């Protein structure tokens, strides 16, 4: 019989973990064609999430729990779940119940009928989210498609089904700053969409404030695109051309007599600020890429597992 693992990253989810487990268990109990398990990853939670997960694992041997030594982030938590998964199929889902567990049988049915390696979930509606988050997410996905060498599905998250072949290839990736949905798209094979309506959080607060959203977007862009470097080169070329044109204008003006050095201080200051800004922008982009190389060369582990339960 084929096996299915549900991978659930958790960080400070004491308000929802009981309900999340209950709904997942009910759904998995109804699936008789697969042997099922749940892999919870406690990403260094500071509330009672760890104790609650340990209690759940003690009463249900189908529940496996990985406890991180500290908070390493959502993407390392999902990565750990995939690394520890030995099933034929895996479904990645967050604990906050915005992605309904009740859709799991439909994902499995879609995967079987389409003979797909990946079924990625496309958000038709996003309940409980601010206008700013919706519009920023829309801009992000479309900007990523423009900048990246790989086309990513629009309006998707990590909620998806992946098969054993995709997991096998994913485990070969050694980069530390993973953008998982991008990597899975990059891997290829047959990938099909599944459209659904995303619910509001059941309880608790979002774990992706603006600061983390910006960091996540920067990681995705820098790991999957070299176009920012090309943009910096283009800006440098434009500023050089502006400088040459301005120098010619100054020289001709001095000869003909329509420019005056003393009265042109404001335009000089503007040009200095403009050129300085472009240089700092270019250096900043280069610095980001160098920082990524520095992190990769150090070759530190993505995560550290402090304790395993039922594994």
Tokens coding 59: 């009463």
Quote the pLDDT of residue 66: 95
Residues in the chain, pLDDT under 70: 125-155, 198-234, 240, 243, 247, 250-251, 253-254, 257-267, 269-270, 273, 295
Quote the pLDDT of residue 230: 66
The domain spans of the chain are: 3-225+301-309, 227-298
CATH number of 3-225+301-309: 3.90.550.10
Quote the pLDDT of residue 293: 75
Helix, strand, or coil (residue 238): helix
Order of strands, sheet of 191-198, starting from the edge strand that comes earlier in the sequence? 191-198, 118-126, 156-163, 89-92, 3-10, 35-42, 63-68, 305-309
pTM score, whole prediction: 0.68
Quote the pLDDT of residue 223: 63
Chain segment 199-241, per-residue pLDDT in tens: 654 444 555 555 656 666 666 666 666 666 666 666 777 776 7
Quote the pLDDT of residue 108: 92
H/E stretch holding 247 reads helix 227-256
Quote the pLDDT of residue 201: 47
Straight-line distance from the first to the last Cα atom of the chain, in angstroms, rounded to the nearest whole number: 20
Of residues 218, 217, 220, 215, the one with CA closest to residue 184: 220
Using the CB atoms, write b or e for 269-306: b if 16+ within 10 Å. Answer: eeeeeeeeebeeebeebeebeeebeeeeeeeeebbebe
Of residues 247, 250, 232, 243, the one with CA closest to residue 275: 243
């Amino acid at each position: 019989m084929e096996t299915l693992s549900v991978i659930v990253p958790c960080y400070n989810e004491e308000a929802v973990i009981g309900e999340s487990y209950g709904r997942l268990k009910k759904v998995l109990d109804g699936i008789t064609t697969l042997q099922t398990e749940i892999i919870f990853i406690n990403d260094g939670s500071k509330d009672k999430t760890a104790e609650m997960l340990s209690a759940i694992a003690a009463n249900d041997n189908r529940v496996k729990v990985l406890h991180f030594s500290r908070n390493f982030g959502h993407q390392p938590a999902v990565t750990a779940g995939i690394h520890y998964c030995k099933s034929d199929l895996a479904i990645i889902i967050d604990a906050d119940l915005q992605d309904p567990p009740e859709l799991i049988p439909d994902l499995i049915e879609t995967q079987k009928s389409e003979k797909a390696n990946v079924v990625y979930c496309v958000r038709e509606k996003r309940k409980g989210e601010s206008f700013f988050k919706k519009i920023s997410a829309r801009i992000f996905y479309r900007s990523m498609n423009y900048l990246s060498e790989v086309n990513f599905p629009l309006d998707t998250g990590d909620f998806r089904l992946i098969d054993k072949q995709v997991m096998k290839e994913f485990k070969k990736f050694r980069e530390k700053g993973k953008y998982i949905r991008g990597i899975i798209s990059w891997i290829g094979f047959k990938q099909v969409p599944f459209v659904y309506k995303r619910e509001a959080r059941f309880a608790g607060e979002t774990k992706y404030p603006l600061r983390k959203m910006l960091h996540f977007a920067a990681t995705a862009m820098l790991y999957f695109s070299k176009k920012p470097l090309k943009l910096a080169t283009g800006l440098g070329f434009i500023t050089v051309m502006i400088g040459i044109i301005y120098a010619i204008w100054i020289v001709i003006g001095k000869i003909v007599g329509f420019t005056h050095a003393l009265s042109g201080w404001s335009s000089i200051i503007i040009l200095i600020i403009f050129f300085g800004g472009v240089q700092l922008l270019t250096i900043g982009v280069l610095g980001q890429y160098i920082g990524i190389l520095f992190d990769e060369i150090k070759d530190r582990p993505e995560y550290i597992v402090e304790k395993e339960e039922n594994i």
